Amino acid sequence: MIIVLKPNSTPEQIDHIVETIHAMGLKTDVSRGIKRTIIGVIGEEDLLRSAPLRAIPGVEEVVPILKPFKLASREYQPEDSVIDVGCGVKVGGGSLAMIAGPCAVEGREILLEIARHVKAGGANILRGGAFKPRTSPYSFQGLGEEGLKILRDVGDEMEMPVVTEVMDPRQVALVDRYTDIFQIGARNMQNFNLLAEVGQTKRPVLLKRGMSATVIDLLMSAEYIMAEGNKQVMLCERGIKSFDSSTRNLLDLSIVPNAKGLSHLPIIVDPSHATGRPDLIPAMALAAVAAGADGIHIEVHTCPEKALSDGPQALLPDQYRAVVDQMRQVAGLFQKTIPIAHAN
């Protein structure tokens, strides 16, 4: 539910409305616009149905939000969210986030080498997993805190914001010390305790779509984060399960305009995990830009055959540079830009 206040409502009236709603056991989200203030009511709205909110001084209108997600909805916020992820990089609002790097942080030298290549190729956010969600408990699980330190160090040296996965609510405080952006992986999209935990931080979150999650499921998970106070959520399509084993997953590009119709949150596309195939990644990356994605997430490695995870889907640095050049052209057709990073 949104409570729209009268243009001349006073701070005392706003406080009174907020207190009234809190007294009913509901949370509020006050957004003070230039023209007027609106108050989002978060929680079990049924509690409010019979309350005469319109009668409270300062209230102009009470608008129910019919979608199950509230803070994430376009009804709540008509304009696109733009998320500042650090080092001057903004996600959403016309400039594309180019997230690239290896699947896992494997060591300082190799990460620095890959980071130099991807930045020169056009990347503006560096990725690398320190905690890896592997299907087998016997596969490489990531370097843990050592990996986080390396990622932070290389990100600082390259002046690039970094993104890394957090898999467990107990890791949130640790990962928060090193990263600019939390990644919630597909397998954890509905780990509600984890969502609530990152929701209590002030860090942007890259929320990946679960492999069998609907767009509504994804937006409900975003809502879990936002309901805790953290509005800086970026959605990420990374493919869903399909019957066709010729690709790793099935890239659902329709989710880009679909999610944008429903929500103001930016949406990134990850053709690496969606296809699992370097020969398909460039075409899907270009299509994602044309579909309106706010960023593209691609895994890159200088020696894919030696990579400790997801080597078979990694692009080589030259291939990455080539696809970013092509993406720039497609972005230009839609008056969007891929910012040119300064050299290090």
Contacts to ligand PEP by CB under 6 A: 103, 129, 133, 185-187, 208, 238, 273
> Alpha helix (H) ranges present in 188-251?
192-199, 215-227
Residue 185's binding partner among Mn ion, ligand PEP, none (Cβ under 5 to 8 angstroms by kind) is ligand PEP
Distance CA 311, CA 104 (A): 10
State how far the alpha carbon of 208 is from the alpha carbons of 95, 168, 191, 223, 321, in Å: 20, 15, 12, 14, 24
| Contact between 233 and Mn ion per CB under 5 A | no
- Smaller CB separation from ligand PEP, 32 or 241: 241
Q: Are 311 and 304 in contact (CB under 8 A)?
A: yes
- Smaller CB separation from ligand PEP, 97 or 103: 103
| Contact between 300 and Mn ion per CB under 5 A | no
Q: How many CA atoms lie within 13 A of 309 on its CB side?
A: 22
- Smaller CB separation from ligand PEP, 39 or 206: 206
| Contact between 237 and Mn ion per CB under 5 A | no
Residue 119's binding partner among Mn ion, ligand PEP, none (Cβ under 5 to 8 angstroms by kind) is none
| Contact between 256 and Mn ion per CB under 5 A | no
In the list 14, 310, 317, 323, the residue contacting Mn ion (rule: CB under 5 A) is: 310
**Other CB atoms closer than 10 Å to residue 318's CB: what's the count?**
10
We find the least distance from the C-beta atom of residue 212 to ligand PEP, in angstroms, to be 13
| Contact between 103 and Mn ion per CB under 5 A | yes
- Smaller CB separation from Mn ion, 5 or 308: 308
Distance CA 314, CA 193 (A): 31
Nearest to 188 by CA among 152, 218, 158: 218
Residue 203's binding partner among ligand PEP, Mn ion, none (Cβ under 5 to 8 angstroms by kind) is none
Q: How many CA atoms lie within 13 A of 111 on its CB side?
A: 28
Beta strands in the chain (DSSP E): 2-5, 27-32, 37-42, 59-63, 83-86, 89-91, 97-101, 125-127, 162-165, 181-184, 205-208, 233-237, 267-269, 295-299
We find the least distance from the C-beta atom of residue 281 to Mn ion, in angstroms, to be 12
- Smaller CB separation from ligand PEP, 103 or 265: 103
Query: For the CA atoms of the chain, what is the radius of gyration?
Result: 21
Taking CB atoms, the residue at the shortest distance from ligand PEP is: 185
- Smaller CB separation from ligand PEP, 70 or 238: 238
Task: For the segment 195-214, give every residue that binds Mn ion (CB under 5 A).
Answer: none
In the chain, what is the straight-line distance between the N-terminal and C-terminal CA atoms, in Å?
48
Task: Report residue 165 as tokens.
Answer: 């996965």
- Smaller CB separation from Mn ion, 119 or 127: 127
We find the least distance from the C-beta atom of residue 111 to ligand PEP, in angstroms, to be 14
Indicate the SS3 state at residue 173. Answer: helix
Residue 180's binding partner among Mn ion, ligand PEP, none (Cβ under 5 to 8 angstroms by kind) is none
We find the least distance from the C-beta atom of residue 100 to ligand PEP, in angstroms, to be 11
Residue 238's binding partner among ligand PEP, Mn ion, none (Cβ under 5 to 8 angstroms by kind) is ligand PEP
Nearest to 225 by CA among 200, 208, 206: 200
Task: For the segment 151-180, give every residue that binds Mn ion (CB under 5 A).
Answer: none
- Smaller CB separation from ligand PEP, 40 or 185: 185
We find the least distance from the C-beta atom of residue 127 to ligand PEP, in angstroms, to be 7
Binding site for Mn ion (CB under 5 A): 103, 310
